[in-house]
Amino acid sequence: MDYKTLYSDLTTKLENEIPVTAYPIRELVQIFRSKGKPITLKSKLTITSVFNSGDISGIMCTVMENEGNVIVCSLTHLIFDSKFHLYKDIIDYQQKRSKRIKQLNQM
C-alpha cells in the first residue's frame, strides 16, 4: 500500500487551513520542557506547515508555541478542538496511524 498517497488528501486539507491551532499531547509537552520551554497541555500551538513523509513518519507538522519556539512533530502528537471542521478526518487518521505504528513495531 502506498501510504504517502493515502495521507496526501488530509495533508492537502490541512495545508489549506494553515495556520491551525492545536494542543500538545503529554509527550510533546515533555519535549518542549526538556528544551527549557515550559508549556502545558492547555498551551495553544500554531501549526505553520505540514508535510507528508509517507509511511516513515506519517503527516508531520511544524508547530510554534506563543513564545515563538518551533518544533516538528507528528500529527498524532496534537489534539484538536472538536469544532474544527477537519476534526473527524484527523481523528480517523490518528487512529489508523496508531494501528500502523503498532504493525510496524511487530515486524
Per residue of the chain (107 residues), give pLDDT as tens.
Answer: 556 677 889 999 999 999 999 999 999 999 888 988 888 999 999 999 999 987 778 899 999 988 888 889 999 999 999 999 999 999 999 998 888 777 767 76
User: Exposed, middle or buried, 45 (CB in 10 Å: 0-12/13-18/19+)?
Assistant: buried
Ranges of each domain in the chain: 3-106
H helix or E strand, kind and range, residue 60: strand 59-65
Of 10, 15, 25, 85, nearest to 47 (Cα)? 15
SS3 83: coil
Owner of C-alpha cell 513518519: 57
- Predicted structure pTM score: 0.86
